[in-house]
Structure 1
């Protein structure tokens, strides 16, 4: 019987990452040069668990608008856009990610979730109970504390994944082993 090799699925909560970067980290709408380089997330995932990667980028398209250039860019770097629509009261992206996480339980797959939301804790716990590897990618100081009890590794989008081309103005706890005073003397 032909078995497909184990795979890593990257699920990006596009709304959450964009809002967290803009509102919390930068305090304004990010410039194009300040946004994550998503191809670096795919490269990071491939190296992390040394297996093939499928990137799913969830977008809210409830307003009937699909950002063509962004969707094209995602497709060109290897992500599959998942544009969802629903009523204005539905959290369509979160529901789509929850359903996808549920569908991955028991598959020969591991998951990297790019979000800070606690909305996925139950699904992440089910994946862990099924002995699947799960990691979170984002800004660890802003990830919901609800994941703490699950002992899920947190990968920093800036320092671990290196998804940004220039340093972000973040205030975060720096392990002494990583402290570089030159960064503060610029």
Structure 2
């Protein structure tokens, strides 16, 4: 049984492995037992509803739930198809242009691992330092592993769904917003990771 997201740093791979390794000790059931339980009992079909069900029924939190459901329903997680996830997420040409500008700005930084998820594209070094997700109307929300007081362009994120390490957010309306100052902010976040 193996299903985990692609595009993980070594540290992130170790974290996923520790969640799996400690599942039985922390819950009293093996991963295989949890997979059988959710396949047999969970009638929910959407990922969030499944996670909510597992928490309400068994007290299992989001990270363990993702591990269990990633094995129980691997095709639905889509973690093995980074290109497919990217194509499904980045459909708006204006948002995609901003993403391309971000990728160009990040491209000069060494040791960057790109991770594609359903809701965002993430960049990590040893840990995640940035993530971007498209917004309706062609903009992009960018999260950074910085504090909001680092720049007037930054604000606190609210329920973004990416790593809790990303303490600052800015909205990029166009590819032109990925300027020298933003490249400097990306580098500062990279340095902290």
Fold equivalence (TM over 0.5): no
> Of the two structures, which has the highest relative contact order with CA contacts closer than 8 Å and spacing of 6 or more?
1
TM-score (norm 2): 0.26
Larger helix proportion of the pair: 2
Bigger share in strand: 1
